């Protein structure tokens, strides 16, 4: 039980950090989104590798890289995953720094449903009647918002799809979260370095030109990326999957509250109706997964007796 409590604490802390990170990105919204992303890739790689070396994981990191290279399919699959998560980071940073935090929260609310849909198409998983109902309700909610916007909430869809496909790929590749982050950022690091060289050569770089506070915030972006992943990697294995399913809604809920209450983003009656459909869909979805998990656990206990 002590281990489970520790797992719950670390997982809650993970999602809480992800939920309040818009506060951090808002501090650098004077820096273009493309440079924030470039800086995040560069410093996430540097700080993660340094931390791995400090905890004596350098040899294992090299072993992981060699193992990946021996299987070209796995190597290039992880490379694809790295570009998907990079796209997700860009959309997220762009949304936050352009006053679209509410849309960001929607992306992360619908992500579990998108992931389940990908499971049906690519992993041949079967949908229960309850989850089918959840999909219909979520689709209605998104449609209402799309009609009110006059266009699809493409940022929300982009974030949900990129993260869902990233998760789908990661299911097939077993890697330690911290070393996995180092390898994923390694794949996009050359592009980040080339782009930073371009920014400096054309005098467009904010780094080293906008003051010490901006420089520090851009460097810390690497830690802001790595810390939640370390906490999640520590806590998630200690608790059941259905509990992770419950706790993951902490992040988009905090994002939504920040967007509306702190930054004054629009959340009118139509938004409330749209999100209500999505929330009900998520309640049905999560409840069905909890009941399913408990049923499996009960079957295992009966089989032991």
Residue 169: pLDDT above 80? yes
Task: Name the pLDDT band for 43 (thresholds 50, 70, 90).
Answer: very high
Q: By CB neighbour count within 10 A (0-12 exposed, 13-18 middle, 19+ buried), where does 79 fall? A: middle
Residues in the chain: 305
List, for residues 210-235, the tens digit of each pLDDT value. 999 999 999 999 889 888 877 887 88
Q: What is the 3-state secondary structure (H, E, C) of 211-273?
A: CHHHHHHHHHHHHHHHHHHHHHHHHHHHCCHHHHHHHCCHHHHHHHHHHHHHCCCCCCHHHHH
List, for residues 58-111, the tens digit of each pLDDT value. 999 999 999 888 988 889 999 999 999 999 999 999 999 999 999 999 888 888
Q: What is the distance between the alpha carbons of residues 217 and 98, in angstroms, rounded to a whole number?
A: 18
Structural contact between residues 57 and 178, judged by C-beta atoms closer than 8 angstroms? yes
Phi-psi region of 56 (alpha: psi -120 to 50; beta: other; left: phi over 0): left
List, for residues 150-162, the tens digit of each pLDDT value. 777 899 999 999 9
Tokens for 248, please give them: 């993951």
Residue 1: pLDDT above 60? no
Looking at per-residue confidence, does 245 or 75 come out higher?
75
| Mean pLDDT, residues 138-142 taken together | 88
Residue 116: pLDDT above 70? yes
Name the strand (E) or helix (H) holding 206.
Answer: none
Rg of the chain, C-alpha, whole Å = 20
Q: What is the distance between the alpha carbons of residues 193 and 172, in angstroms, rounded to a whole number?
A: 29
pLDDT for 155 equals: 92
Percent of the chain residues topping a pLDDT of 70: 97
pLDDT for 232 equals: 82
Residue 15: pLDDT above 70? yes
pLDDT for 206 equals: 94
Residue whose token pair is 């982009």: 158
């Amino acid at each position: 039980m002590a281990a489970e409590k520790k797992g719950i604490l670390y997982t809650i802390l993970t999602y809480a950090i992800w939920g309040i990170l818009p506060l951090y990105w808002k501090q650098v919204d004077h820096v273009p989104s493309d440079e924030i992303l470039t800086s995040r890739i560069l410093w996430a790689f540097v700080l993660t590798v340094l931390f791995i070396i400090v905890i004596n994981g350098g040899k294992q990191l090299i072993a992981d890289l060699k193992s990946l290279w021996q299987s070209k399919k796995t190597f290039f699959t992880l490379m694809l995953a790295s570009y998907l998560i990079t796209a997700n980071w860009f959309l997220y940073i762009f949304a936050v720094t352009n006053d679209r935090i509410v849309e960001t929260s929607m992306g992360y609310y619908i992500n579990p449903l998108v992931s389940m849909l990908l499971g049906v198409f690519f992993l041949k998983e079967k949908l229960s009647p309850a989850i089918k109902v959840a999909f219909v309700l979520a689709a209605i909610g998104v449609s209402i918002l799309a009609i009110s916007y006059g266009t699809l909430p493409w940022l929300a869809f982009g974030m949900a799809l990129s993260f869902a496909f990233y998760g789908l790929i990661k299911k097939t590749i077993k890697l330690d979260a911290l070393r996995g982050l180092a390898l994923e950022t390694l794949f996009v690091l050359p592009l980040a370095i080339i782009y930073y060289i371009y920014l400096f050569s054309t005098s467009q770089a904010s780094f080293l030109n906008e003051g010490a506070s901006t420089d520090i915030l851009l460097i810390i972006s690497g830690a802001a990326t790595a810390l939640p992943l370390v906490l999640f990697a520590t806590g998630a294995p200690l608790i059941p999957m259905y509990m992770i399913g419950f706790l993951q809604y902490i992040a988009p809920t905090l994002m939504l509250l920040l967007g509306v209450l702190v930054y004054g983003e629009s959340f009118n009656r139509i938004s409330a109706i749209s999100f209500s459909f999505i929330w009900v869909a998520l309640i049905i979805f999560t409840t069905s997964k909890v009941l399913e998990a408990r049923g499996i656990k009960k079957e295992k206990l009966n089989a032991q007796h």
